[in-house]
Amino acid sequence: MDLEHAIRTRRTHKAYRQEPVDRVTLDELFDLARWAPNHHLTNPWRFRVLGPQALQRLKQAADAVEPGSGRKLDRAPTLVAVTVERAGDPIQDREDLLACGVAAYIVLLAAHARGLAGYWRTPAVLRDPGGRRALGIGDQEEFVGLLHLGHPRQEQAPPDRAPVAEVVEYLD
C-alpha cells in the first residue's frame, strides 16, 4: 500500500474480529513509531500493550470512574496505552507531546497498511489516578491515547473532509 492511499483510506473502527494482533506485528509497528520526528531525539513516547490482567484492572478502574464504561475496552482484541514522558520544561514537554502524537499516528497508519484496523481513544479512566495506577503510568508521564487494534469486521466509508481552501492560508 502506498503512503498516500494509506492516509486517505485509514478509518476509525469500532468492530473487530476476536484474534489479537501478534507480538511480531506489534513490534514492527512500534519500530516504525520510533522514527517520528522528535526534538533533540528525546524518544519521549511509551507504549504499553495490555495483557488480560492489565485489561481487567483497567476495566475495574473505568467502571469506578463511570459505571459501565469498562465494556468499551472490550471492543478490540489488542489495546495499547500511549504516554509521553514529561521533562519538566514547558517547551520540551510540548515538543514531546506533539512527537508522541505523531508516533501514535504512525502506529495506526502502519497497522492499516498491514490490513489491521485501529481506533484512537482518550477515555476518562486514563486521566484518573485509578486508571493510571492500573497500567503503572507514573507521575512524570502524560496519557496521550488508548489505541484499539485488531482485524476489522467491516469496511468503513470515508467521512467528508473540509476542502483545502478552508484550512490553508498562504501568507505574503
Q: What is the pLDDT of residues 87-120, one digit of tens each?
A: 999 999 999 999 999 999 999 999 999 999 999 9
Residue 100 CA to residue 43 CA, distance in Å, equals 8
DSSP-derived letter for residue 69 is G
Each domain of the chain, given as residue ranges in start order, spans 27-78+100-137
Residue 136: which pLDDT band, with cuts at 50, 70 and 90? Answer: very high
If pLDDT is split at 50, 70 and 90, which confidence band does 135 have?
A: very high
Average pLDDT over residues 143-158: 92
Model confidence pLDDT, tens digit, residues 23-70? 999 999 999 999 999 988 999 999 999 999 999 999 999 999 999 999
Instruction: Give this prediction's pTM.
Output: 0.93
Residues shown for the chain: 172
- CATH 3.40.605.10 assigned to domain 27-78+100-137? The reply is no
- Tell me, what's the pLDDT at 79? 98
Euclidean distance between CA atoms 25 and 142, whole angstroms = 25
For the chain, give the mean pLDDT.
94
